[in-house]
Amino acid sequence: MGMRILASLTATLGAAVLTLACMIALVQGTILAVTIDQTPLRVLAIGADLIVGTAMLVACIYLATHLAVLIVGVGQAEFPPLPNSESSIPELSGDSPKI
């Protein structure tokens, strides 16, 4: 139990630090891209900054989520059963609402 709490705290702090580092790198890259004098090169640098920054932030979110699933252990749970074919929503089942 204690190891799971320690692992959870470590994963949470690690995800927060990694996300903060990605944000700092993204801001630094944006500042550098905006200071470029040549317009076509500036546009290319800003586009690359957006693509790389977005990829880094998505990777941080994926890593944090993946670690949380591994620590909590819900990855081995059974998939919930599918609902039956009849819908419980009156508009979808064809029944008119009773007023």
Total structural domains in the chain? 1
pLDDT of residue 5: 83
pLDDT of residue 81: 80
Whether 23 is covered by a domain: the verdict is yes
| pTM value > 0.75 | no
94 Rama class: left (phi>0) / alpha (psi -120 to 50) / beta: left
At 92, is the pLDDT very low, low, confident or very high (cuts 50, 70, 90)?
Answer: low
Domain residue limits at 23? 2-72
Whether 6 is covered by a domain: the verdict is yes
Whether 94 is covered by a domain: the verdict is no
Q: Is 83 helix (H, G, I), strand (E, B) or coil?
A: coil
| Inter-axis angle of helices 2-34 and 39-72, nearest 10 | 180
At 68, is the pLDDT very low, low, confident or very high (cuts 50, 70, 90)?
Answer: confident
- Per-residue pLDDT reduced to its tens digit, 2-56: 787 888 888 888 888 888 988 898 899 999 999 999 999 999 999 999 899 889 8
Whether 81 is covered by a domain: the verdict is no
